[in-house]
Amino acid sequence: MININNCALIVIDLQNDFVRQGAPMEVPDARTSLPKVKKLLDAARNHKIPIIYTKFLSGPKKTLLWNWSPQIEEFGACKRGLKRHYSELNAERQCADVVDEIYPTDDDYIVEKYGYSAFKNTNLQDILRSEGIDSVIVVGTVTQICVADTVHDAFALGFKVLVVSDCATSFMVDMQTAFLKNFEMKFAWVKDSGEVLKMIEGTN
């Protein structure tokens, strides 16, 4: 099992363009997971567990990834600096920014990425090593895409991984089920947020 005393909480891509109602890359379950993610964040902060947010960004020039995310070209999804009006909020927000409900504090890390994995061409591994981390708790969206690539890379780099089943979300039920099962078979421990909270609080 992971080592709570040497772990970090990684929050993957809970950004306006993924979470907000009607957003170009909307994952409705990501929105419903926010209260549970918030509880984990509060517990992590209370116990001095480092928190790392990732942001998926699309650049100004077309890349191979755009072929599988047409929302980038059509709507400018997750483009750096682009503001969008979200009817759910009746307000504008930076489309690639973290949602208000779980916004980072000054003590949290933010890792920007232009692909699926939070480790690819980023400083995430350096952050974890600098903090003496050997285990990561992973929440966020999308389970079979950015969450999966991050989990696989964490495992390959020798980090112990715990995926929070009800805080990792997808827009496809079958993919959610299959990837959580595959994580548990070969890459990570999988627990629900209640179990993880107990672990952080030291009651389990």
- Mean pLDDT over 74-91 rounds to 95
User: What pLDDT band is residue 204 in, cutting at 50, 70 and 90?
Assistant: very low
CA distance 92 to 83: 6
Average pLDDT over residues 116-144: 98
Q: What's the mean pLDDT in 165-188?
A: 98
Contacts of 141 (CB under 8 A, 6+ apart): 12, 13, 14, 18, 19, 27, 29, 30, 147, 168, 169, 170
pLDDT exceeds 80 at position 203 = no
Residue range 86-97: mean pLDDT, rounded:
96
| Over residues 72-92, mean pLDDT | 95
Dihedral, CA atoms, 60, 114, 116, 126, nearest 10 degrees?
180
Determine how many CB atoms are found less than 10 A away from the CB of residue 202: 9
Q: Is the pLDDT of residue 107 over 70?
A: yes
Q: What pLDDT score does 130 carry?
A: 97
Mean pLDDT of 52-66: 96
b/e sequence 20-48, b meaning 16+ C-beta within 10 Å: beebbbbbebbbebbebbebbbebbeeee
Mean pLDDT, range 60-87, rounded to an integer = 95
Domains of the chain: 4-201 (3.40.50.850)
pLDDT at 138 over 70: yes
Confidence band, pLDDT 50/70/90 cuts, at residue 202: confident
- Grouping H, G, I as helix, E, B as strand and the rest as coil, residue 39 is helix
pLDDT at 141 over 90: yes
Q: Does the predicted model carry a pTM greater than 0.85?
A: yes
- Mean pLDDT, residues 144-170: 98
Mean pLDDT of the chain: 96
Q: What angle do CA 23, 24, 28 make, to 5 degrees?
A: 55
Region 119-137: what's the mean pLDDT?
98
